[in-house]
Structures are given as structure tokens and as C-alpha cells.
Amino acid sequence: MNILLIHQYFLEEDDPGGSRWNEFTRIWTDQGHTVTVLGGMMHYNGHEKRPEYKGKYFVPKKQGAVNVMRCHVSEAYNKSFIGRLWGYFSFMFSALYAGLFKVKGKFDVVIVTSPPLFVGITGYLISRLRRMPFVFEVRDLWPESAIDTGVLTNKMVIRLAYWVEAFIYRNAKLINVLTPAFYNTLRDKKGIPESKLIQISNAADFSLSERLLNDFDREAFRKQHDLDGRFVITYVGAHGVANHLEQLLDAGEALADTNVLFLLIGQGMEKERVMKLAKERNIKNVRFLDSVPKAEVFRYILASEMGASVLKRVDTFKTVYSNKTFDYMSCKKPILMAIDGVSRELVEAAGAGVYVEPENAAEYNRIIRQYLNDPERLKREGESGYRFAQQNFDREVLANRYLGYIENMKK
């Protein structure tokens, strides 16, 4: 197949972290399929373009066997809400132009992954003008999540977003959702027929974790990074409004008399503010690190006792799976799950950790102290989560299943 993917946040080869779509496209090209990606020029946590993109609107690249066309995104993206909105629209228009005039050949399908929601219009127009089916993926229930977190408040923009959402769902040939809650919401509340809906979730990357599990010197890494003698709980991910990482400061304060260390790895609009707050409150057992390459992320997870998945306490987040939950599972680490709903259900079904009520410092304190006194529980739950992820969330299995749905759609 010849596949066109529109993904504003498709990672560069040397970007920190990891993306399911970077892995899916690699798996598909390894199997002989051709994949072209229209990706943005701004990292989702970045503040400016890379030097090679300055003053340019389109830059073709190769990432392994994947063809990537980097498209303009406004550098106002991370400066304000209006800047973020213009970042979405600037990519919407640049990707549309690239999809119509910059990438050549005949494609079998165009896949759009969101958020941002508005890029679905780009995918729809390209699909109509280049005569191919349109697949839309829902990674986050937008605009609901933006409304619940207070990011989106303008009533006119909210009405526009709901109209765009309904238009995209109506015109997509297939809609992929990442969680059972998304599936139920689209079917029961938004009236999407089940014949359109599929569910290919986030997944665990065992190719990297299994290599490291076999030859990683955990003790040497802990000594090198001043983690020796600490009960390390690592959070990997965005430092944004939706994550409400103040709750980890509150937990750290409550556990100041223990050897617990919260290690927060990542970037985001709220990071500087949260770091300043930690300094003002003189909280010594919360440490901040910048984003690091994916292999290094896995080393930090393997050097930890637990992994934390954290979001603000709002109802919309009861529908989401946290990406890093699967990485914690693949590294055999139990999960401190501060997200209610389907994420909680996942961890409890897997026997892979514990739910802690979001933003409840007393519960963090009580639950983490239980783990401090029960090292066997750490090992037992880590192994259980690893087995569950192998059986249900292997990235290669899910990539092949996704492709199978697309191929069947065309018949």
C-alpha cells in the first residue's frame, strides 16, 4: 500500500521520547509498504523551529524508509492560547498545500491523527481532491478535554470545534479510537455507527525494553545519576495544564521524611512555573529533568521503583490511556495511576499497580508508604503488567491489526 499520514507531532529521528506513529510507520515500511508523512516543524513542547527550518515552509526528509515532508507551523505555537490556535491553523493550511502539490504519486489512503482536530479538514480535502479514502484517528476527545481543563473558553471557538468534529466524523470512512471509553462516547453520545469505529490503542515498545532488560547495569546508572538509596518514582511526559504536576509536589512534601524521590522528565508550558513553585516551597525530593532520547527514558524507568501516570482531576480524562503507562509496563515497573476511568481499569485488570485519587496528597502519602514496606509487591506487580502488555498491547501486533482494517476498508 501507499499510505499518506498527516501527523502534526510526528517526531524527528533525534527527538526525545517516542511515538507510536514513528514505530507504526517503521513497521509498515519494513513490510514493503510506502509511507509518506506530512509532519509539523515544531515539537509539541518546542518554542522555536530548528535552524534547518527557519525561513522555510516545506522541507522534505527521509526518516529511515519513511518519506517525511515537514510543513510550516507558526512559532507562536507555545506562547499563548491564541498562538497555539494559530499553530494549529498554520499547519492545517501548510499540510493541505503539501498534500495537494508537494507530495507526488497515487495514495491508497490518507490517515489523519488528532489532536489537533482542525487538521481533519486538511485530510478530508486531500482525500476528496486526490480521490482516496480518509481515516481519522482520535487520540484525545477534543474539544472536551480543552474545555474541561480551561484551555478553551471562547464560546464561538467551542461551537466551531464541535461543528468541525461532527463534519469530520461524518466524512471519515473509518475512525480509530485509542480507548474503550472513546469508542463508547462516539457510538453512544455522538451517534457514530459501529461500522465506522475501530480501536487500536497505544502500545508498548518491547523491542527497546527487552534489549535493555538483558544488559542494563541498573546499579551503576543509579550511582551515576545520584539515585542510589532512593525510592524513585519516575514521571515521563508533558508538563502542561492537563497534567497538574503540582500534585506531585504535594505528594513529595507529604513524604519528605522518607527516601522517596519523584523524578519528572519532560517539557511543557507549565514546567518553569512548577519548578519555581517547588523551589519556593523548598521541596527537595522532586527533581526535574529535560526531555531525553527514548533509550535514555527507558534507562531512567528501569532505574526506578515505580512509574507515575498523572493528569488533572476532570471527567474527560477518565476516557484516556496515558502513553507512558505502556512503557512502564514494558519495563516491568508497577504504576502509580493518578488517572481515574479506563486508565485505572487497565492497571487494575493487569494487576500492574495502584490507583491513587488525582490531586489527593493524603492518598499519595498513604499508598506510597505501603510500597515502601513491601518490596515484593513492586516485583509482583511489575511482572504482572509486563505479561499483560505482551498479551494485549504489543506495538507490532497492533500495527499489523491497524493495517488489516485499512486493507479491508478498501475491498
Between CA 174 and CA 172 the distance in angstroms is 5
- Per residue in 67-103, pLDDT (tens digit) is 999 999 988 776 676 777 788 889 999 999 999 999 9
What pLDDT, on a 0 to 100 scale, did the predictor assign at position 17? 56
245 SS3 class: coil
Tell me the backbone φ, ψ of residue 312, rounded to 5 degrees.
-60, 150
Fold agreement between 2-203+394-410 and 206-392: yes
Going from N- to C-terminal start, the domains of the chain cover 2-203+394-410, 206-392
Q: Exposed, middle or buried: residue 393 (CB in 10 Å: 0-12, 13-18, 19+)?
A: buried
CATH class of 2-203+394-410: alpha beta
Q: Of 35-39, 48-52, 134-138, 243-247, which range is least confident?
A: 48-52
User: Is 49 within 8 Å of 90 (Cβ atoms)?
Assistant: no
Instruction: Collect contacts of 20-25 with beta carbons under 8 A, ≥24 apart.
Output: 20/202, 20/203, 20/323, 20/395, 21/113, 22/63, 23/203, 23/205, 23/395, 23/399, 24/395, 24/398, 24/399, 24/402, 25/66
pLDDT of 18 over the 70 cut? no
pTM: 0.81
Nearest to 294 by CA among 315, 324, 274: 324
What is the mean pLDDT of the segment spanning 173-188? 94
Handedness of CA 294, 299, 300, 302 (dihedral sign): positive
What pLDDT, on a 0 to 100 scale, did the predictor assign at position 16? 60
Cell of 210: 527487552
Beta strands in 217-365 (DSSP E): 231-236, 260-265, 286-289, 306-310, 335-338, 353-355
Between CA 269 and CA 319 the distance in angstroms is 23
Between CA 329 and CA 35 the distance in angstroms is 29
The residue with cell 526518516 is 63
Between CA 341 and CA 312 the distance in angstroms is 13
Mean pLDDT for the chain overall = 92
Between CA 409 and CA 339 the distance in angstroms is 34
CATH pick for 206-392 out of 3.75.10.20, 3.40.640.10, 3.90.420.10, 3.40.50.2000: 3.40.50.2000
Residues with Cβ within 8 Å of 21's Cβ and at least 6 positions away in sequence, in order, are 5, 7, 10, 37, 113
Helical axes 294-302 vs 323-330, angle rounded to 10°: 60
User: Is 114 within 8 Å of 144 (Cβ atoms)?
Assistant: no
Beta strands in 1-57 (DSSP E): 2-7, 34-40
- Per residue in 342-390, pLDDT (tens digit) is 999 999 999 999 999 999 999 999 999 999 999 999 999 999 999 999 9
Q: Of 194-198, 273-277, 294-298, which range is least confident?
A: 294-298
Nearest to 21 by CA among 9, 3, 33: 9
Q: Of 78-82, 167-171, 231-235, 394-398, which range is least confident?
A: 78-82
Cell of 335: 504504576
